[in-house]
């Protein structure tokens, strides 16, 4: 498989290297050509190399040929749409992946489209146009496959007939090997066409645009064009315009609205006292620390445990530590009896 190459500006790779239209294959209704491009893509190539559906029509008219059906084998719909095809032609889309040998279902769909057109146009000499991206490899394989399987032509003769008519030789080696030494495909169900041909929707030739321009840009307004002024709506009687701040961003003094009163939620916080025997009042905002619950020296003492000889006196000797006074009386250590061995 060949490496994928990114298409620049939407133009297929090596598209300019191939002739636009080949010659009619002698003894058949087939004519091969490369994919015609829509107008927005043709505007990106030189005018002498532009090739679209209407250029195909002009080329066939110069050769006194009339096209009746287009069989599109490309694996995309980005090159042109149905409304780019003249309404004189029928159109059939058969998605065919490149670089790979087409499947039996794809081959059968091609045979069905050709057989149906030949049956419906037996009284005229309209041609069947077949194209892929370059109108060479996939196109050449399916045209030669039809000539081999249906018309019974020799594989080598079919390939040479197509190459001479197209003006280029089939390049894919796997296509040539399958045509020359591969098995024939079955023609069963060839007369039972399932796909209905569509009709082109382009009624007239579109206008031409200069090279490098995009037709979509014509509908966009240019920047130098003057914009229409906005409609001035009449204001009702008694309308007062809203006041806007000056350039400094501040409203003029005095203020428009009076200063609202302090809400009730922002009043000093008060609550009920925790105990009825104490008189509690909220702390002053300027207070730096909490007041002690009990004045120094008046904290109630913890009563001594029963059985101790320590008196419950309000004042202690001067030699005792202040921490002992706050902690209360010491407890007498308990002596545990020793267990006899």
Residues catalogued as catalytic: 132, 138
Nearest to 135 by CA among 287, 15, 7, 269: 15
| Residue 144 DSSP code | H
With a CB cutoff of 8 Å and minimum separation 6, the contacts of 271 are 282
Please report the DSSP string for 115-131 in residue order. Answer: HHHHHHTTTS--EEEEE
Report the C-alpha gap between 66 and 60 in whole angstroms.
7
Helix (H) or strand (E) holding 30: strand 30-33
Report the C-alpha gap between 301 and 306 in whole angstroms.
15
| Residue 203 DSSP code | -
| Residue 86 DSSP code | B
| Residue whose token pair is 């149905």 | 82
With both helix axes pointing from N to C terminus, report the angle between 155-166 and 137-149 in degrees, rounded to the nearest 10: 140
Report the C-alpha gap between 184 and 186 in whole angstroms.
7
8: exposed, middle or buried (C-beta count within 10 Å: 0-12, 13-18, 19+)?
Answer: exposed
Is residue 28 a contact partner of residue 22, using CB atoms and an 8 Å limit? no
């Amino acid at each position: 498989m060949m490496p994928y190459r990114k298409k620049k500006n939407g133009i297929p790779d090596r598209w300019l290297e191939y002739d636009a239209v080949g010659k009619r294959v002698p003894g058949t209704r087939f004519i091969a050509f490369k994919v015609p491009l829509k107008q927005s893509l043709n505007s990106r190539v030189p005018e002498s190399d532009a090739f679209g559906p209407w250029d195909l029509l002009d080329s066939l008219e110069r050769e006194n040929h009339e096209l009746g059906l287009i069989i599109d084998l490309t694996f995309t719909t980005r090159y042109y749409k149905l409304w780019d095809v003249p309404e004189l032609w029928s159109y059939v889309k058969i998605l065919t992946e490149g670089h790979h040998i087409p499947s039996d279902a794809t081959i059968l769909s091609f045979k069905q489209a050709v057989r149906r057109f030949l049956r419906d146009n037996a009284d005229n000499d309209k041609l069947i146009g077949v194209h892929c991206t370059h109108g060479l490899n996939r196109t050449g394989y399916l045209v030669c496959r039809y000539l081999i399987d249906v018309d019974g032509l020799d594989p080598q003769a079919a390939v040479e007939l197509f190459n001479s008519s197209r003006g280029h030789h089939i390049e894919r080696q796997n296509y040539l090997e399958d045509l020359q030494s591969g098995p024939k495909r079955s023609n069963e169900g060839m007369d039972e066409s399932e796909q209905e041909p569509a009709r082109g929707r382009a009624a007239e030739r579109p206008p031409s645009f200069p090279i490098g321009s995009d037709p979509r840009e014509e509908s966009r307004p240019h920047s130098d064009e003057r914009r229409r002024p906005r409609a001035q709506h009449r204001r009702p009687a008694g309308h007062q315009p809203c006041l806007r701040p000056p350039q400094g961003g501040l409203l003029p003094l005095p203020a428009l609205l009076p200063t609202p009163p302090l809400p009730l939620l922002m009043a000093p916080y008060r609550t009920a006292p925790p105990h009825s025997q104490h008189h509690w009042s909220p702390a002053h905002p300027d207070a730096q620390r909490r007041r002690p619950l009990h004045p120094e020296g008046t904290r109630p003492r913890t009563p001594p445990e029963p059985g101790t000889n320590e008196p419950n006196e309000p004042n202690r000797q001067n030699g005792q530590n202040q921490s002992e006074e706050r902690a209360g009386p010491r407890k007498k250590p308990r002596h545990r009896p020793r267990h006899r061995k």
